[in-house]
Structure 1
Amino acid sequence: MAQDRFRVRASGDYTQSRSTRFVGATGKLAVLLVVLLQIPVVTAHGEAESTALSQSHGLAAIFVGLALVGGAVALKRTERITPTTALYAAFAGLAVVTIGAMVFDGLAPDASYSASTMPIPRSWYPPMALLTGVGIAVVSFVVGWLKWPGRPRYTSLGILIGLWVAYPTLIPGPASTTNPLGYVIVLATPVLLGYIVWKDAQDGIRVALHDATARRFGIGVGFLLAMYFSALSGYLTFFPSEGSPHHTIVSIETVQYQLVQWPTLEVFLPQVPFFVAVSIGSVVLVGSLSTLVGLNAALIAYQWRSERVAIAGTTEGTAGTSAIVGSCACGCCGPIVAQVVVLVAGPSIAAPLYWVFVDSKSPFTMLFLVASIGLFTGGLVYATKQASDFGAPVTSSPAAVNDG
């Protein structure tokens, strides 16, 4: 095999060395994050305590991380490094991207926009949400009936996504934050997702997770994504805003997260500084997203390391990976685009993006979230099927995976 020339150790020693490197690299990245947090920063409201760390540094870290990931993929495809080495390099790049995104978002100024900059009047939002949600449900029913008559779970997922979008209009006003239907929609989501993955992707996932490197890569990527989405939603930050208290706070508050209200544990440690909020709703949504992406990442890692798929340049090796990366990129990169536009083009040009994709009243905000869940799930099922169709050993013994 092409990887044989990279085997300079016995199999057991090689695996142990890679595991040690993974732990060491993760530890170094954690130390880097702690060091960055000790640097005086520009506050989120724009009053500088120091110019040592700014949004530009976060953006630079994002580009450096993306370059690391791209370089790892390119070197792996040309067989200059082993697939395993490429995975560790790619994970390091993703970690740098995550840190950069958290810095970039944490130091973003609190932009305020007047109603005159709204591209769509807010009075249009309820009918748009209702039409969009009902449309998604109807299309899901028709497509599921015609294309997957034996898999009603796909139709159910489409209808559930439609309910996510239409719910604020179906149950208008303050009553929507405590209505039982909202809780059913939220809690049913991970159950249905788990059922779909179990029915349609369990064989490939089970074998992929038996590979230690693929399993570590999937867990690591899932953890990074959980941090990323928590930071973007304001439930995790290392950059407290101006006027934050100077004493430790641990409290339980009732906070609305997406559709309904949840008892939320809030912890603020000004000495770090560090703020985190955890609720059942945030755990369900962030956990679902990070788990789906982590499983996608584990499948990519296993495909890279498998004998049939690790050959650079083959269609078989890139079809499943492209499906996964494409869906994950759409779901993960979108939330930060508006802030990049603010930095590059100015708030006036970014205002329409804010009102459409960031404003909590906009139906497109919810549509983006649930569409990401659908993309991640579809990408996982599709990639597993493609790998199986191409003959990749996703349902064979893990012993078929190369050590390198």
Structure 2
Amino acid sequence: MTINIPRGTQDILPGVSEHWQFIEQAAAELCRQYQYKEIRTPVFEHTELFERGVGDTTDIVQKEMYTFKDRGDRNLTLRPEGTASVVRSYVQHKMHGHAVQPVKLFYTGPMFRYERPQAGRFRQFVQFGVEAIGSDDPAIDAEVISLAMELYSRLGLKKIKLVLNSLGDTESRIAHKNALIEHFSPRIDEFCSDCQVRLDKNPLRILDCKKDRGHELIESAPSLKDYLNEESKDYFEKVKRYLDVMGISYELDPNLVRGLDYYNHTAFEIMSDAEGFGAITTLCGGGRYNGLTEEIGGPASPGIGFALSIERLMAALEAESVSLPVNEKVDCYFVAMGEAAKEKAVSLTYEARRKGLSAELDYLNRKMKGQFKAADRIHAANVVIIGEDELNAGKASVKNMDSGSQEEVPFENIIKYIEKA
């Protein structure tokens, strides 16, 4: 019986994995320039972390988490997102006491959500994200947004747009929450059971409901922007001004609320405008989460971050026909005829790799023609031919596969010759 991978997962095969590596390396280099340091957290955490951090009224917690009991009868969950884990680590390791503030972190790793698989959406998916914790300066909101936009730009995406909203501070959100409760309460029985539970806990989630999105009360619901106090308005204006001075264009969307409970003040999404990209256009989402560290048991430390799906990024690159400049060439392929020549080829291949060259040789005992075909398949730049005559002469024939030129090179000079070539 053949065993296949679980639904909603995928194998990243050679030929594609190199593109993933390119993206991950580009993201890491960009973070180095922005002074964000890598953090790696466990793939599973205590379930309570996500219930408290993400919010027990969210679809993620209510419907999508992979939760299990271990042999010690502890409730554990495969992480559905990255921010809660990073903030937990920030609190646990007392990073608020670090000399360099704010603490700027990035991560790349698999996340897990039980949802209906579709194009660009998987049950195991890979997120790249950044978190800046310890500052409530609107300028760092703009910095985080600019980092995400710059990554897409460097990778060659052009048909993207940035959408912004302000969710306001605690005072503004409470005023808006009360208005929403008053608005929905008389007809809440017309909404799904999830929304009925959300009414008192977090009515803002009703506006984001997938089942009831067409209901007339959602269309006429009080707008959050009408309940922003002066402090919240001023904060959002500063974020926009910083984006303006960086030359980053954006659109305002008062209905953008994001899917996690911990957001406040700045919320944003980056979307693809590429033709034929699909119904789900969001590539990246993030925002400010003042109060999350306290929720997880730490001191007050304001933060902001974003996360993007590598799978969605790959789909956007395909939609725009962007070809990543992945170097797939092999520097040299050693063709050996006979056992003595094979020993020399093994020695030279090892030496070439130690010098930082990519090198390969035949392991199937093919004839010379078959070895040349193999060299061509892996796009070898140079082929080094070693046979009995070459061994006797102390020289190998080196053929440049692009120009077709061929030259005899002493064995002791081959590595330097390939490096120059």
Q: TM-score, normalised by structure 1?
A: 0.20
Larger radius of gyration: 2
TM-score, normalised by the number of residues in structure 2:
0.19
- More strand by proportion, 1 or 2? 2
